[in-house]
Chain A
Amino acid sequence: MSQSKVFQDAKSALADLKSDMTLMSGGFGLCGIAENCIDAIADMDVKNLTVISNNIGNSGRGLVKVLIKDKIKKAYCSYVGGNPDLEERMLAGQIEVELVPQGTFAERIRAAGMGIRAFYTPTGYGTLIAEGKEVKEFDRPCILETALHADFAIIKAQKGDTYGNLWFKETARNFSPLMAMAAKTTVVEVEELVELGDIPAEDVHLPGVFVQRIFQGSNYKNDIEFLKLEGQQ
């Protein structure tokens, strides 16, 4: 490591993100999204981004902030329900959306990070998803799916050390470790930036070798989409 991975903030860590690049964005719904990075990109002078994210934000929040500034040319995602801003642009043909079954989506990203070029899966066989894809019969018919790479990944972790070793809280992990592996440059924002050794080696969820940049985030909203408490409904 010739240079420190630690950056000041989202703006400095994303300074070389350019138009026409491919961007992965971690999180499931609004859970575990890189809030500081998303806000920074919404204010940057970039356009024609290809975005790979399970949900392109929701109800005006998350990546919707980037979407409504018409910075996204193409999106890969598994779910668009509850996102009227995206559905509207999709039906009007203003954005190209490739819907990918969620498990295939995760595995295509993981494959990129693991050096696997493509894989066969039964998911999607006999559906619109299989159109134009090679089908091969194993114990049952499977379709060929290829790896998904990116120029940048923006992810959030609860804790990270200065080498980029990460620890995620509860279900906030989701796609983030996979995206960190699949992108050329992975930018991580954390709620707690800690020193080397503060995360015990056994508790590292993602080794820092997959992380290029890390910064201490701020002003987290950690929005809840659907609050359900015991005794309700």
Chain B
Amino acid sequence: MSWDKNMMADKVIGLFTDHCSVNLGIGLPTLIAERIPSSKGIMIHSENGVLGVSGRPTKETVSPTLINAGKETIAVGDGASYFDSSLSFGMIRGGHIDFCVLGGMQADAKGNLANWMIPGHKVTGMGGAMDLVNGAKTVIIMMTHFSKNGDPKILDVCDLPLTGKEVVDIIVTDLGMFKPHDGKIEIIELAEGIDKTDLKMDTILK
């Protein structure tokens, strides 16, 4: 049985060290913020200029000037700080953020990631993703294993325009956890009842 979104989020959280700093991308990774146990002492960074995000506000505390990079309203905890975009990306580019978790359209065996455009069809822009994949100490991709068409999203080589070259450390999908290594994909863990053949990536498995 494949992992649901919450189980995927928990698998990612299991990779976080105590008291680390984490940046969460738009989409699937936003689930993580609400599931991190406070006992881990983790500081959540959002690149629009806040460190110390702690879940959602109430009707009474909600503020239009307090948002995350997905432009959603958030709350902050004790020890939080605000700063401008340059300092925020300095934290990322300077290697001060321990983990970033991003969604993906494609990732490949070389650790390349594509998640910002489909030529001639859809352009969202890269936002902060290109900076994050080159700056965060550990880059985790959290995405569904297959596209809407049923094609595997972990490939030998990405065919969409890249977000970053040789930058991905870990990939968590609904079917398992993987690591690009030496041009192949190493299986770290499979969801219960999932077999290697279910992954549809025989040729690139280590």
Point out residues on A near B: beta carbons under 8 Å: 28-32, 54, 58, 77-82, 87, 90-91, 99, 101-107, 109-110, 121-129, 158, 168-178, 205, 222-232
CB distance B62 to A78 under 8 Å?
no
With contacts A126-B165, A171-B67 taken as known, whether A230 is within 8 angstroms of B128 at the C-beta atoms is no
Nearest CB of B to A72, in Å: 16
Which of B7-15, B46-54, B139-147, B176-184 contacts the other chain? B46-54
Chain B minimum-CB-distance residue to A168: B82
CA distance A105 to B93 in the complex (A): 13
Chain B hits for A229, CB < 8 A: 56-59, 62, 73
Q: A101-B129, A168-B82, A228-B56 are in contact. List 6 more A-B contacts (CB 8 A).
A: A102-B127, A103-B92, A122-B135, A123-B130, A126-B165, A232-B56
Q: Which of B46, B71, B135 has the most CB of A within 10 A?
A: B71
Please name all residues of chain B whose beta carbon is closer than 8 Å to the beta carbon of A175 when the two chains form the complex: 84-85
Contact A28 B130 (CB under 8 A): no
Q: Which of B68-92 contact A (CB under 8 A)?
A: 69-75, 82-86, 88-89, 92
Q: Contact check: which of A79, A90, A106, A205 meets B89 at CB < 8 Å? A: A106
Stretch at the interface among B118-126, B149-157, B198-206: B118-126
Q: Is the CB of B64 within 8 A of A103?
A: no
Which residue of A is nearest B128, CB measured?
A102
Contact B130 A101, beta carbon cutoff 8 Å: yes
8 residue pairs A–B, Cβ–Cβ below 8 Å? A78-B127, A124-B134, A127-B163, A127-B165, A170-B66, A171-B67, A177-B84, A229-B62
A173 close to B124 (CB less than 8 A): no
- Once bound together, how far apart are the Cα atoms of A9 and B9, in whole Å? 49
CA distance A30 to B82 in the complex (A): 17
Chain A residues contacting B98 (CB-CB under 8 Å) are: none
Contact assessment for A78 and B67 in the assembled complex, using a CB-CB cutoff below 8 Å: no
Secondary structure at the B interface, as helix, strand, loop or mixed, is: loop
Cα A30 to Cα B92 with chains together (Å):
23
Instruction: Please classify the interface of chain A as helix (H, G, I), strand (E, B), loop, or mixed, using the class held by over half of its residues.
Output: loop
How many A-B pairs have beta carbons closer than 8 Å: the answer is 174
**Least distance between B7 CB and chain A CB atoms (Å):** 16
Which of A31, A78, A109, A123 counts the most chain B CB atoms within 10 A?
Answer: A123
A121 surroundings in chain B (CB, below 8 A): 93, 134
Measuring CB to CB, which residues of chain B are less than 8 angstroms from any residue of chain A?
A: 46-50, 55-59, 62-67, 69-75, 82-86, 88-89, 92-93, 112, 123-131, 134-135, 161-166
When the two chains form their complex, are residues B124 and A80 in contact, meaning their CB atoms are under 8 A apart?
yes
Q: Is A103's CB under 8 angstroms from B66's CB?
A: no
> Which 8 pairs, one residue from A and one from B, show the smallest C-beta to C-beta distance?
A126-B165, A103-B89, A103-B131, A81-B124, A101-B130, A106-B85, A79-B125, A225-B71
B134 and A102 contact, CB distance less than 8 A: no
Residue of A nearest to B69 (CB): A28
Contacts of A223 in B (CB 8 A): 64
Neighbouring A residues of B58 by C-beta, 8 Å? 229-230
Distance in angstroms from A170 CB to nearest chain B CB is: 4
Q: A224-B73, A226-B73, A227-B62 are in contact. Are A101 and B131 (CB under 8 A)?
A: yes
CB contact between B86 and one of A30, A107, A228, A230 (< 8 Å): that residue: A107
Nearest chain A CB to B76 CB, angstrom units: 8
A122 to chain B, nearest CB (A): 4
Residue of A nearest to B80 (CB): A170
- B85 and A170: CB pair below 8 A? no
